[in-house]
C-alpha cells in the first residue's frame, strides 16, 4: 500500500478515493482504509474486494462509476495491520476523515486531555490505543522503529488549517504518552492542510436499489455524491503522492481564502439550515432552500460572512450563486439531521469567527445570531435531534442564552446586547 486512510466513511469514498482512482498513476497508489470506529464498512467493502459504486447524482440523472482505489479495508480494532501499514517504507501518505470531533480538540485547539486520558493510560500500560491522536502516534512510533522514513499526514475534515490542527493534537498526545518520539515526528512528518468539498449524504436503501439497477452489480455499500468536487491542498509530500492534480485537485501556497470561503459560506450556510431551517419543519437542505424565509436568512448570513473571506466580490457572488444551485439539487437527500450533528464542534469553526469579528466592530450580525439561536433551540429540543457527544454541558445550561455563550464563547458572554439579541432570536413558546 502507498496510502493509508483512517475513517472509512462515505466522504472518503466520494472524494479522496475518487481523486486517487481518477489520477493517471492510480495503479501505483493502492489504499489501505481503516474504519474510525465500528467495523461494518470494512466488512462490507472487503466482501466486494474493495470495489464500490459511486452514484454521481446530478439534478436530472445519476451516473454510476465503479471505484477500485481501495485495495484492502480494515476494522478499527486491527491494530496490528494499522501499525504494519504505517511502518512500511512504501506508505507515503496518511489521509483522514474522522469528523471534527475525532481530533479531540479543546476550545483552544489543543488536545482535550480529559478525553485523551484513557488512551494515554492505555499506551503507558502497553495496551492498544483507540483515539485518532493515539492511533497516529502508535503508527508513527512503529515507523520510527522500522526506519520507514518521512511521511505526509493529510487531514480531510472541515477544520480551518486542518494540517496544523492535527499536528497540534498529535504533538500534545505524544508529549504525554511518548515524549521521546516528539523530535522524530518533528523531523519526519509533514502536515498538509486541505480544503475539501463534495456534498455526500448518507446512503439509503433506495440508493442501493438504484445502484444495482444501473450497474447490475449488487453493491451493499454504494455512495451517492454530487457532480461538484473540489480539493485544495497546501504542504509537502516527502515520500511522493498520486498525481491528484490530473483529476482536478489544486496545490496552492496560501489555502486561507479557499478554506474560509468553504467553511463559512458552505458549511456555515449548512448549519444555518440545519438548526433554523429544521425548526421550520424542513428535513433536507433541498427542502429548506425552497423556503423563501430560509433563502433570506442564507443571504443575510452570506452577506456577513463574505467580509471574512479574502476573495474579490465577483468571485464570492459566483460562489454564492453556485451554492444555491448545489443546495437546491432536490435529487440529493442531504438531511438536516446529519448536518446538525456535533454542533458544539462545528459552531466554533463555521460561525464564531464572523460573530466575533462583527461584535468587535460594534455590530450585532443578525445572520450569525440566528445560527447560534437556532442551535440553542435545537439543544432545547426543537428541530433536528441532538447527536453530539459534546452537547451535555450545553444542554444542561440551554435555558439561559448567557450560560450557553459562557461555554461556547466565554469572551462574548458578557456582552449584554448580544445576549439579548440571541435570546430575542430564539423560538418563543406559543400561548
Ligand X SMILES: O=P(O)(O)OC[C@@H](O)[C@@H](O)[C@H](O)[C@H](O)CO
Ligand Y SMILES: NC(=O)c1ccc[n+]([C@@H]2O[C@H](COP(=O)([O-])OP(=O)(O)OC[C@H]3O[C@@H](n4cnc5c(N)ncnc54)[C@H](O)[C@@H]3O)[C@@H](O)[C@H]2O)c1
Q: Which residue, 160 or 374, is less far from ligand Y as judged by CB?
A: 160
Q: Which residue, 36 or 163, is less far from ligand Y as judged by CB?
A: 36
What is the C-alpha to C-alpha distance for residues 193 and 95, in angstroms, rounded to an integer? Answer: 11
> Read out DSSP for 137-196?
HHHHHHHHHHT---EEEEE-SS-TTHHHHHHHHHHHHHHHH-GGGHHHHHHHEEE-EEEE
With binding defined as CB under 6 A, does residue 158 bind ligand Y? yes
**Of the residues 119, 172, 197, 259, which one makes contact with ligand X according to CB under 6 A:** 197
Between residue 358 and residue 417, which ones bind ligand X under the rule CB under 6 A?
none
Shortest separation between residue 136's beta carbon and ligand X, angstroms? 20
By CB under 6 A, which span of 30-38, 61-69, 109-117, 371-379 interacts with ligand Y?
A: 30-38
Shortest separation between residue 134's beta carbon and ligand X, angstroms? 22
CA-wise closest residue to 157 among 111, 115, 101, 236: 101
- For residue 117, with 0-12 CB atoms within 10 Å meaning exposed, 13-18 middle and 19 or more buried, which class applies? exposed
- Total residues in contact with ligand X, by rule CB under 6 A: 9
Q: Which residue, 12 or 301, is less far from ligand Y as judged by CB?
A: 12
**Of the residues 16, 20, 95, 97, which one makes contact with ligand Y according to CB under 6 A:** 97
With binding defined as CB under 6 A, does residue 339 bind ligand X? yes
By CB under 6 A, which span of 17-25, 98-106, 280-288, 324-332 interacts with ligand Y?
A: 98-106
With binding defined as CB under 6 A, does residue 162 bind ligand X? no
Shortest separation between residue 374's beta carbon and ligand X, angstroms? 14
Contact between 25 and 243 (Cβ < 8 Å): yes
SS3 59: coil
- From first CA to last CA, the distance across the chain in angstroms is 63
**Of the residues 35, 194, 279, 284, which one makes contact with ligand Y according to CB under 6 A:** 35
Cell of 51: 470495489
> Which strand ranges, in their side-by-side order, compose the sheet holding 193-197?
193-197, 230-234, 250-251
Q: Which residue, 104 or 177, is less far from ligand Y as judged by CB?
A: 104
Q: Which residue, 138 or 196, is less far from ligand X as judged by CB?
A: 196
Residue with cell 500534545: 172
CA-wise closest residue to 269 among 293, 287, 295: 295
Summarize as ranges the residues that interact with ligand Y (CB under 6 A): 7-12, 35-37, 97-102, 132, 157-158, 196, 198-200
Contact set with ligand X (CB under 6 A): 100, 158, 197-199, 266-267, 270, 339
Amino acid at each position: 500500500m502507498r496510502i493509508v486512510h483512517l475513517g472509512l466513511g462515505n466522504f472518503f469514498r466520494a472524494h479522496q478515493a475518487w481523486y486517487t482512482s481518477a489520477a493517471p498513476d492510480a495503479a501505483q497508489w493502492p489504499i489501505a482504509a481503516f474504519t474510525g470506529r465500528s467495523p461494518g464498512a470494512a466488512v462490507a467493502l472487503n466482501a466486494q474486494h474493495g470495489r464500490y459504486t459511486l452514484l454521481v447524482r446530478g439534478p436530472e440523472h445519476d451516473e454510476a462509476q465503479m471505484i477500485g482505489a481501495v485495495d484492502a479495508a480494515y476494522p478499527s480494532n486491527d491494530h496490528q495491520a494499522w501499525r504494519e501499514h504505517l511502518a512500511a517504507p512504501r506508505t507515503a501518505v496518511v489521509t483522514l476523515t474522522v469528523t471534527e470531533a475525532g481530533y479531540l480538540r479543546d476550545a483552544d485547539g489543543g488536545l482535550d486531555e480529559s478525553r485523551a486520558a484513557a488512551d494515554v493510560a492505555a499506551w503507558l500500560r502497553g495496551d492498544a490505543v483507540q483515539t485518532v491522536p493515539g492511533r497516529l502516534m502508535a503508527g508513527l512510533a512503529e515507523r520510527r522503529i522500522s526506519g520507514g522514513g518521512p511521511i505526509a499526514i493529510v487531514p480531510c475534515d472541515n477544520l480551518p488549517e486542518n494540517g496544523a490542527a492535527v499536528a497540534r493534537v498529535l504533538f500534545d498526545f505524544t508529549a504525554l504518552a511518548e515524549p521521546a518520539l516528539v523530535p522524530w515526528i518533528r523531523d519526519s512528518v509533514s502536515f498538509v492542510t486541505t480544503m475539501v468539498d463534495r456534498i455526500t449524504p448518507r446512503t439509503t436503501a433506495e440508493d442501493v436499489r438504484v445502484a444495482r439497477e444501473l450497474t447490475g452489480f449488487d453493491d451493499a455499500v454504494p455512495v451517492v455524491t454530487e457532480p461538484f468536487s473540489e480539493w485544495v491542498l497546501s504542504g509537502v509530500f516527502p515520500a511522493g503522492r498520486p498525481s491528484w492534480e490530473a483529476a482536478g485537485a489544486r496545490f496552492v501556497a496560501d489555502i486561507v481564502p479557499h478554506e474560509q470561503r468553504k467553511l463559512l459560506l458552505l458549511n456555515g450556510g449548512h448549519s444555518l439550515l440545519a438548526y433554523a431551517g429544521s425548526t421550520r419543519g424542513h428535513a433536507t437542505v433541498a427542502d429548506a432552500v425552497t423556503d423563501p424565509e430560509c433563502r433570506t436568512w442564507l443571504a443575510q448570513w452570506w452577506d456577513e460572512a463574505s467580509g471574512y473571506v479574502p476573495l474579490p466580490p465577483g468571485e464570492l457572488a459566483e460562489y454564492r450563486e453556485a451554492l444555491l444551485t448545489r443546495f437546491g439539487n432536490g435529487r440529493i437527500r442531504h438531511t438536516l439531521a446529519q448536518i446538525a450533528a456535533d454542533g458544539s464542534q462545528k459552531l466554533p469553526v463555521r460561525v464564531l469567527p464572523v460573530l466575533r469579528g462583527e461584535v468587535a466592530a460594534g455590530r450585532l450580525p443578525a445572520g450569525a445570531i440566528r445560527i447560534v439561536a437556532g442551535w440553542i433551540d435545537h439543544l432545547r429540543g426543537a428541530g433536528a435531534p441532538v447527536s453530539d457527544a459534546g452537547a451535555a454541558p450545553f444542554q444542561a445550561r440551554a435555558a439561559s442564552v448567557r450560560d450557553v455563550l459562557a461555554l461556547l464563547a466565554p469572551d462574548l458572554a458578557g456582552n449584554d446586547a448580544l445576549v439579548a439579541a440571541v435570546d430575542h432570536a430564539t423560538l418563543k413558546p406559543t400561548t
